[in-house]
A and B are shown apart, each in its own frame.
Chain A
Amino acid sequence: MSDRSPWPLRIVKGFARFWWDFLVGDTPELFVAVLVVVGLVALCRIVWQLNVLALVALPLLCMAALGVSLGRAQRTSREK
C-alpha cells in the first residue's frame, strides 16, 4: 500500500525507519545491551571513579552481550 502522506512527512518517516532498522533491526537485544553496558561503565568511571574496572568491564560486557545474542539466535534456529 502506497504512503499518501505529504512528502516532508514521508522523508521524516523514511529517515526514522532507516535509523530504526540500522540500530535496532532484528537484534533489539544488542541495542538494549549496549545501552545497559554504557550505563554500567558510566557508573563505574564517572560516579565511582573506578577506571580499571571500567576499562575491563566495557569489552567484557560487550562480549557477554554478543554471546547472549548468539545463544538466542542458535535457539531460534534450532526451533525452526
Chain B
Amino acid sequence: MIATTVSSGVAVLVVAVFLTSCVEMVEALTIVLAVGHTRGWRSCFEGVVAALGALVVLVAVVGPALVRVPLATLHLVIGIILLIFGMQWLRKAILRSSGLKEMSDEDVRYQKTVASLDASDVTKSRDQVAFVVAFKGVFLEGLEVVIAVITLGTSAHRLGLAALVASVAVVLVAVVGALVSKQLTNVPENAMKMGVGIMLTSYGTFWTGEGLKVRWPGGDVELLVLVGIYLVVTWLFVAVLRRRDSVLEVAS
C-alpha cells in the first residue's frame, strides 16, 4: 500500500515535470534557432549558456532554502501557485481544443522572432542583440521549468528527482532540435499543455488541501483520483464549448 501511494505520487510528479519542461523548452528552442540562424551562433550560444547557468544557480539557492519553510505553509503557498498556474494552462488548452483560440504555432513564433531581429551589423565578435534575445528566451521559458521543479520537487520531497527529470527533458529537446536543426513544429504542444494543466491543477488542489489540513481519504492515491476528475471535466468543457460555439454560429 505504501509502495503504491509513493509510486503514484512520484509517477504524477515525473510526468508533470517532464511535460512542462518539454513544452517550455520547445518554445525556447524556437527562439534560439531563430537567433542562431539570423545573427550567428557564437553569441547565441553564449546567451544560452549564461541563461542555463543562472537557472542552475537559482535552483541551487532557492530549492534548499525552501526546505526550511514549515511544511504546512510550504504546501499551501505551493498549492496556490500550482492551482493558478495549472488552471491558466488548462484554460488555454481547452480554448485551443474547442477552436476559440488559435493553436500555438512554432513556425509563426519563429518568423516573428526572425522579423524582430535585424540581421545587419552582426560582424562584431560579440553580438549583444543575439546574446540578450537568446538569454531572455531561455531564461524566461526556463524560469517556468524552475518553478515547476521547485514547487513540485520540494512539496513531494523529491527535488533531486524533479531536477533530474527536467534536465533529461531539456537535453532531449535540445538534441532533437539540433538533429533536425529546425523548430519542432509537429510536437503536439496543445495536448501536452492540456496534460500539464491537468497535472498541475491536481497537484495544486492536493497540496492546497494539505496546507489547509484537509485529510484526503486515500492519501497520495487521491492525486490520481484528482487527475481522473480533472481529465473528465476538461473533456466535458471542450465538448460543451465546441457545441455551444457551433450552435451560436448557426444562430448567427
Contacts and interface: CB of A to CB of B under 8 A. Distances in A.
A in complex with B: yes
Interface of A: 18, 22-23, 25, 27, 30-31, 34-35, 38, 41-42, 45-46, 51, 54-55, 58-59, 62-63, 65-67, 69-70, 73-74, 77-78
Nearest to A56: B214
Contacts of A77: 95, 100-101
B95 A73 contact: yes
A2 to B, nearest CB: 13
A42 B213 CA distance: 9
Contacts of A27: 87-88, 91
A66 B214 contact: no
B241 A55 contact: no
Interface of B: 76, 80-81, 83-85, 87-88, 90-91, 94-95, 100-101, 140, 143-144, 147, 201, 205, 208-209, 212-217, 226, 229-230, 233, 237, 241, 244-245, 248
Contact of A74 (B209, B213, B245): B245
Given A59-B205, A63-B233, A73-B100, A54 B214 contact: yes
B216 A30 contact: no
Provide the main secondary structure of the chain B interface. Answer: helix
Contacts of B205: 58-59, 62
A73 B91 contact: yes
27 contacts: A22-B144, A27-B87, A30-B84, A30-B87, A34-B83, A34-B87, A42-B212, A51-B214, A51-B215, A55-B209, A55-B214, A55-B215, A58-B205, A58-B208, A59-B205, A59-B226, A62-B205, A63-B230, A63-B233, A66-B90, A66-B237, A67-B237, A69-B91, A70-B94, A73-B101, A77-B95, A77-B101
Given A25-B88, A73-B100, A41 B245 contact: no
A67 B234 CA distance: 10
Nearest to B211: A38
Given A70-B91, A70-B95, A77-B101, 16 more contacts: A18-B140, A22-B144, A23-B84, A25-B88, A30-B84, A41-B208, A41-B212, A51-B215, A58-B214, A59-B226, A59-B229, A59-B230, A62-B87, A70-B94, A70-B237, A73-B101
B84 A31 contact: yes
A66 B213 contact: no
A78 B245 CA distance: 9
A9 B208 CA distance: 33
A56 B215 CA distance: 11
Q: Which 6 A-B pairs have the closest CB atoms?
A: A77-B100, A54-B214, A55-B214, A45-B212, A34-B83, A34-B84
Contacts of A41: 208-209, 212, 214
Contacts of A35: 80
Contacts of A34: 80, 83-84, 87
A31 B59 CA distance: 25
B91 A66 contact: yes
A28 B143 CA distance: 21
B229 A46 contact: no
A34 B84 CA distance: 7
